[in-house]
Amino acid sequence: MALTCVTLLIILIGSIVLCIGIGPVSIPFETVWRVMFYKMFGIGDISDVANSTQNIVWFLRAPRVLLGVLVGICLSISGVAMQAFTKNPLASPYVLGISSGASFGAVLAMATGTLSFLGTYATSIGAFAGAMAAILIVYFLAKTGKEIAPIKLVLVGTAVSAMFTAFSNFIIYKAPDDSKVREVTFWMLGSVAGAEWEDLIPLAVIFIPGTLGMYALANSMNALMMGESSAVTLGINVNLVRKLNVFIAALMTGIAVAVAGSIGFVGLVIPHIVRAVVGADHRRVIPLSVLVGGIYLIWVDVGARMFDAPGEIPIGIITSMLGAPFFLWMIRVRRYSFGNKS
């Protein structure tokens, strides 16, 4: 397990440097490495590197790639939380309508100025509130007694997602400012383009405590997989664990959506792939989902940049193109349980 994490961490760091160098202007790996080390730690000498190259690396591509890493991490952890919460690998922030709820809250804040009194945090708080509302609606509507049927959960999540998407579209349709309409429409497609260093702050602040909080709940989530009665016998506070799962998932999804727009299926695909390889033990699933999620999204972003160069495709379109067939395959093979691996 430790060797796997170290290997993936090396791959992640290497991917970050490689992806910063990839673009319309190709920059060698060594140059990117030197510029990043100098800018971050003051190590080395980059006087021989052109100022334009330094600016591309530090101001254009580095924030974008790092934002992709953080968004991938947050969405992957949210997926793990939702799948543990519902005991269903079909669950994810996108499928269950959390992303759509977050989008609605963010669009409401951006297009109408409803939360303008919150200043720069208006969009983030709006997205978090929308995400919380969505998951609570889905949970209470899908719950039958103490059980949640997988198919009912997906159906309710689809309906709630459509509802919040309709609310968002209505706000956009009624928006009086055309420039706001264009801005919000492009944002809803999901993108990390144009990222600046300050965009990383909200995600950087919440992803570490969110990830550590989820890891602290790993044993409790493992117990919940065996059933509520077994978890209670082991002394697990089931209600507290579920509330923390919901809070962490809504917080991380809300902030990710507020910064990067609606990027679908990351929280479905990554935890499922990780679980298929290492089993259902959340002590393994959580750290590996963090690393794989970050790697996955920055390479998808490279595809978004390069497939239609010199233009680019919103990253949310590509993740949906990749994730939707994966989701349909899961339904087709009826993989509704976590399996017997531990």
Q: How many residues can be counted in the chain? A: 342
Position 338 scores a pLDDT of 56
Cα end-to-end distance, the chain, whole Å: 13
> Considering all CA atoms of the chain, what is the largest pairwise distance in Å, rounded to the nearest integer?
68
Residue 176 has what pLDDT? 76
What does the alpha-carbon distance between residue 178 and residue 99 come to, in Å, rounded to a whole number? 24
pLDDT of residue 339: 47
Structure token pair of residue 94: 């996108």
Residue at token pair 């490689």 = 18
pLDDT of residue 69: 96
pLDDT at 340: 44
Dihedrals φ, ψ of 49, to 5°?
-95, 130
pTM of the entire structure? 0.87
Q: In sequence order, what are the residues at sequence separation of 6 or more whose Cβ sits closer than 8 angstroms to the Cβ of residue 150?
A: 86, 88, 90, 336
Q: Are 307 and 317 in contact (CB under 8 A)?
A: no
Give start and end residues of each alpha helix (H) in the chain.
2-21, 29-41, 51-55, 62-86, 98-112, 122-142, 150-174, 178-188, 200-216, 218-225, 228-233, 238-260, 266-278, 282-306, 315-332
| CA distance to 123, 161, 174, per residue, from 130 (Å) | 10, 11, 19
Cβ atoms < 10 Å from Cβ of 148: 18
Cα-based distances in Å from 196 to 13, 61, 310 = 20, 9, 20
SS3 of 309, please? Answer: coil
Structure tokens at 198: 């300050």
Complete domains list, the chain, with CATH: 66-332 (1.10.3470.10)
Query: Measured in whole angstroms, how far is the alpha carbon of residue 3 from the centre of its chain?
Result: 25
Instruction: Please give the Cα distance from 125 to 114 (Å, whole number).
Output: 11
According to DSSP, residue 116 is labeled G
pLDDT in tens, the chain (342 residues): 889 999 999 999 999 999 999 988 899 999 999 999 999 988 888 989 999 999 999 999 999 999 999 999 999 999 998 888 877 777 788 878 888 998 899 888 888 877 788 777 788 888 888 988 998 898 888 877 766 666 787 788 889 999 999 999 998 888 777 777 777 887 788 889 888 998 899 899 998 999 999 999 999 999 888 877 888 888 888 888 888 888 888 889 888 988 898 898 899 889 988 988 888 899 999 999 999 999 999 999 999 888 877 778 889 899 989 988 887 887 777 655 554 443
Q: How far apart are CA 192 and CA 314, in angstroms?
A: 8
- Compute the distance between CA of residue 217 and CA of residue 230 in angstroms, rounded to an integer: 16
